[in-house]
């Protein structure tokens, strides 16, 4: 009869749980920001550029390994090794593991906290206190106690929801690191090859101008040339020689940066990269897709959306403090004055104690916490909207730069061809005695300047292409083998994160933050 009464009382105590309500606003998703229907830079590009952005659909697999369109095996190898060993990526992976562990901590709050205890106590009361026996007493005790907070109003569930979103955000952060890492390796590799090309160019120019200096010296000794011509040739040669050390320094710095990106010492790649190779060649077409594709591709947008979801859930965590908290504690075990009697049924002890805790007089403080959580949610929404607009700007800027760099390179190619013809004509006229030496020097200088700018423009085309793929969110996909120590469904461990909300039509609509229980 006593057990039946206890069961009835416990059932009445647990009845509110059946309602299953969670206070705070349910997350509906932020929606999509107003967008243009296409990228402006895919239209009206200059004529004659070899590689054009087009509105073709993006292939996720191809975008995940976008650097392979450059057809450079050494670049492919460098990026593979960077993904395997980069320290920034390792830090990001550890943050994913940290977030997963914290999610497990939050999920554990749903379950009873159970502790096992065993003790022995020997005590004796004061002989001056006649109310108690003065005889020494032994107490042997072994019991298990449990405490369980019953999540009536969903504060714990909202905290788990927030932890799920935090875990998702940390995963998106790892993907963002991958996007930046692959782009940084490709950019520094292109710059290194560009420095090599400029060094080769200036060495050829130095050789040409050494020949010019020898010619002027021979003409001066033969009495058919002036000393001033020799000094002018010597000055121009020295000027070109002075431009070589900064290029060597730039190449070494790019190699040092690549070494660190690969998780190695800065000088580890110097010998591997020493052999000169041509710069990577961009493909004929660059599929860029539509602006709405960025919502699925850009990890920074996906991360901002998950941070918004976490902030929204924490409104519910704060709101739950307005309502009572229900606890159920219990104890079961044995207690005896003699160790030999500890196993007797008469030594059993137990207790069960439901309780309610309510911060009934802290409403002002709790409401202030709710208001702060609501404000953080609105900040997160604005951050999400800003991230979308910034991503559109990134893509437009990168596409514009890529197209215009190609136009510049085409013009410089024509300038180099014209300057080369001018140098040949000036040399012929000077050698035949009908042209002056100053014209030769001027044309040589203009040729070198045009060639140097042309080589630099080739590097700029490649690095701006890298910027395009980075802006599009290239460099990752869901199939990449990255171990996040995630327990699989059905294998125990922390429950899996809840599915993400699908975007709604209007990203700039306010998120509901009414703070009322959602049935």
Residues 472, 398: Cα–Cα separation, whole Å? 9
Nearest of 511, 499, 33 to residue 295 by alpha carbon: 33
Return the SS3 of 465: helix
Nearest of 79, 45, 84 to residue 65 by alpha carbon: 79
8 Å CB contact between 191 and 460 = no
Per-residue DSSP letter, 519:
-
Residue 164 phi, psi dihedral angles, 5° rounding? -60, -45
Query: Residues in the chain with pLDDT < 50?
Result: 1, 3, 6, 9-13, 15-18, 481-519
Residues 148, 331: Cα–Cα separation, whole Å? 12
Tokens representing 460? 């700029």
8 Å CB contact between 346 and 335 = no
Query: pLDDT at position 4, please?
Result: 53
Tokens representing 374? 């609501």
Query: pLDDT at position 45, please?
Result: 59
Query: pLDDT at position 486, please?
Result: 45
Query: pLDDT at position 479, please?
Result: 52
**pLDDT, tens digit, for every residue of 40-68?**
765 555 555 565 566 666 676 778 899 99
Q: Around Cβ 58, how many Cβ atoms within 10 Å?
A: 19
The distance of Cα 200 from the centroid of its chain, to the nearest Å, equals 37
Number of helices (H), then strands (E), belonging to the chain: the values are 11, 6
Residues 314, 307: Cα–Cα separation, whole Å? 11
Show the domains of the chain with their CATH numbers: 19-112+153-322+379-471 (1.20.1600.10)
Query: pLDDT at position 489, please?
Result: 36
Return the bridge partners of 332, or none: 144, 350
Residues 10, 352: Cα–Cα separation, whole Å? 9
Residues 411, 413: Cα–Cα separation, whole Å? 5
192 burial (CB, 10 Å; 0-12 / 13-18 / 19+) is buried
DSSP H or E segment with residue 195: helix 155-221
Return the bridge partners of 348, or none: 334
> Where do the H-state alpha helices sit in 109-154?
none
Q: Around Cβ 141, how many Cβ atoms within 10 Å?
A: 16
Strand 137-150 relative to strand 325-336, pairing: antiparallel
8 Å CB contact between 169 and 497 = no
Query: pLDDT at position 64, please?
Result: 87
**pLDDT, tens digit, for every residue of 252-276?**
999 999 999 999 999 999 999 999 8
Residues 358, 350: Cα–Cα separation, whole Å? 26
Return the bridge partners of 357, or none: 325
Q: What predicted TM-score, i.e. pTM, was given to this entire model? A: 0.81
């Amino acid at each position: 009869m006593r057990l039946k009464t206890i069961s009835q009382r416990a059932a009445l105590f647990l009845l509110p749980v059946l309602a299953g309500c969670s206070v705070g606003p349910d997350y509906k998703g932020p929606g999509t920001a107003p967008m243009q229907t296409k990228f402006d830079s895919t239209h009206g590009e200059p004529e004659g550029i070899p590689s054009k952005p087009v509105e073709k659909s993006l292939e996720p697999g191809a975008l995940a390994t976008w650097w392979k369109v450059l057809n450079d095996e050494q670049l492919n190898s460098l990026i593979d090794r960077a993904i395997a060993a980069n320290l920034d990526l390792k830090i990001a992976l550890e943050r994913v593991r940290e977030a997963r562990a914290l999610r497990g901590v939050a999920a554990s709050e749903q379950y009873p906290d159970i502790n096992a205890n065993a003790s022995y106590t020997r005590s004796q009361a004061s002989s001056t206190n006649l109310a108690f026996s003065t005889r020494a007493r032994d107490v042997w005790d072994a019991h298990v106690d449990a405490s369980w907070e019953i999540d009536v109003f969903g504060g714990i569930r909202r905290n788990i929801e927030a932890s799920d979103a935090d875990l998702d955000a940390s995963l998106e952060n790892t993907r963002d690191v991958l996007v930046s890492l692959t782009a940084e390796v490709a950019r520094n590799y292109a710059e290194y090859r560009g420095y090599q090309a400029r060094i080769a160019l200036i060495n050829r120019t130095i050789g040409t101008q050494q020949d010019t200096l020898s010619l002027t010296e021979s003409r001066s000794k033969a009495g058919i040339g002036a000393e001033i011509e020799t000094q002018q040739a010597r000055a121009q040669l020295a000027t070109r020689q002075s431009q070589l050390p900064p290029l060597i320094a730039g190449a070494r710095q790019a190699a040092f940066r690549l070494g660190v990106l690969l998780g190695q010492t800065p000088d580890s790649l110097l010998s591997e990269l020493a052999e000169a190779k041509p710069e990577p060649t961009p493909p004929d077409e660059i599929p860029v897709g539509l602006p709405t594709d960025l919502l699925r591709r850009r990890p920074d947008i996906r991360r901002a959306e998950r941070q918004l979801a976490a902030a929204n859930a924490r409104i519910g965590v704060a709101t739950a403090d307005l309502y009572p908290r229900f606890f159920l504690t219990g104890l079961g075990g044995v207690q005896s004055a003699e160790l030999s009697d500890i196993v007797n049924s008469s030594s059993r002890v137990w207790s069960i104690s439901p309780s309610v805790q309510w911060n009934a007089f802290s409403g002002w403080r709790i409401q202030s916490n709710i208001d702060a959580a609501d404000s953080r949610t609105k900040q997160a929404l604005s951050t999400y909207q800003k991230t979308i607009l910034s991503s559109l700007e990134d893509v437009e800027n990168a596409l514009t730069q890529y197209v215009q760099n190609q136009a510049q390179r085409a013009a410089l190619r024509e300038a180099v061809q014209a300057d080369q013809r001018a140098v040949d004509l000036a040399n012929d006229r000077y050698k035949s005695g009908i042209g002056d030496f100053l014209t030769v020097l001027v044309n040589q200088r203009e040729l070198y300047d045009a060639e140097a700018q042309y080589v630099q423009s080739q590097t700029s085309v490649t690095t701006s292409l890298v910027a395009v793929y980075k802006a599009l969110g290239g460099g990752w996909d869901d199939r990449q083998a990255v171990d996040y120590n995630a327990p699989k469904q059905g294998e125990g461990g922390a429950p899996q994160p809840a599915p993400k909300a699908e975007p709604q039509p209007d990203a700039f609509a306010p998120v509901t933050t009414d703070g009322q229980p959602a049935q």
